[in-house]
Structure 1
């Protein structure tokens, strides 16, 4: 069964792409009256406030008609930023060689949190170099992940 984020991604991606932006990913945090639907958008020329407002207008219209979330929520549209969240296999592949933090849904070797270098992706399995050892993490077991910015 698809998660709410997957259903929303399928529903909203065409509208975001029609505005000329990439829908990088969606997070939905269900917290009763304080729930948040967060869309991350990207573009090769960067993201500014006007871009976020434009996408917000387009997405809001669809959400008003489709009404996929039954409770109240706030809509946020933003750039992925420096600590770019990673949602799909392609995201990990794009950032091979970068440092990342990954939290899994289920523990592997009694551990759910991993920090290391993204080595690659093989058949929807992220290969992360953690303290000199390769750790293989299935994308569908990753609860959340983001890049760790490196400053020289």
Structure 2
């Protein structure tokens, strides 16, 4: 399997984040306009602050300067995943059971491309939601992204 840049960076960065008592939620490596951005999203119980982001940024920057895994110039950004945090790892689907989530699919599934409901969990590689008074099981292979949702 060919490792993506996000996976490669994630495996390099994860120990640095973890040793600070933080969780690496997501890694995004993306070109916007003429510039490349490496975005790291970190979290901890109670949320992260500027000191957490700054500490991770400095440590990761030093490590990436030494290892040089990214061929072109990029801008490093470290931040909280925000209120609508993505769910990616199996542990996320356990941790946030009962929470309101939104699932976006890559193509139409049962007539829709977006589903919001309370997360039942990840069962047999399907994301199961309580949706409009019924359960819906969405296969992970058709899911583009899943994130927490806020009710206003």
TM-score, normalised via structure 2 length: 0.83
Deviation at 1:110, TM superposition (A): 4.9
Counterpart of 1:104? Answer: 105
Deviation at 1:27, TM superposition (A): 2.1
Counterpart of 2:60? Answer: 59
In structure 2, how many angstroms separate the alpha carbons of the residues matched to 1:104 and 1:67?
35
After superposition, the Cα gap between the structure-2 partners of 1:39 and 1:98, relative to the gap in structure 1 and judged at 3 Å, is same
Deviations 1:32-62 (A, max 9, x none): 5333221111122431101100000111122
In structure 2, how many angstroms separate the alpha carbons of the residues matched to 1:35 and 1:16?
22
More displaced 10-residue stretch of structure 1: 104-113 or 77-86? 104-113
**SS state at 1:75 partner:** strand
**SS state at 1:29 partner:** strand
**SS state at 2:81 partner:** coil
Counterpart of 1:125? Answer: 126
Is 1:16 aligned to 2:12, yes or no?
Answer: no
After superposition, the Cα gap between the structure-2 partners of 1:81 and 1:46, relative to the gap in structure 1 and judged at 3 Å, is same
Count residues with an aligned counterpart: 151
In structure 2, how many angstroms separate the alpha carbons of the residues matched to 1:140 and 1:60?
34
Is 1:36 aligned to 2:37, yes or no?
Answer: yes
Task: Structure 2: give runs of 5+ residues left out of the alignment.
Answer: none
Counterpart of 1:71? Answer: 72
In structure 2, how many angstroms separate the alpha carbons of the residues matched to 1:149 and 1:55?
27
In structure 2, how many angstroms separate the alpha carbons of the residues matched to 1:114 and 1:71?
37
Compute the RMSD of aligned alpha carbons. Answer: 2.2
**SS state at 1:30 partner:** strand
Deviation at 1:140, TM superposition (A): 5.0
In structure 2, how many angstroms separate the alpha carbons of the residues matched to 1:15 and 1:98?
29
More displaced 10-residue stretch of structure 1: 83-92 or 68-77? 68-77
Contact residue 103 and residue 114 of structure 1 kept, 8 A = yes
More displaced 10-residue stretch of structure 1: 43-52 or 100-109? 100-109
Contact residue 4 and residue 28 of structure 1 kept, 8 A = yes
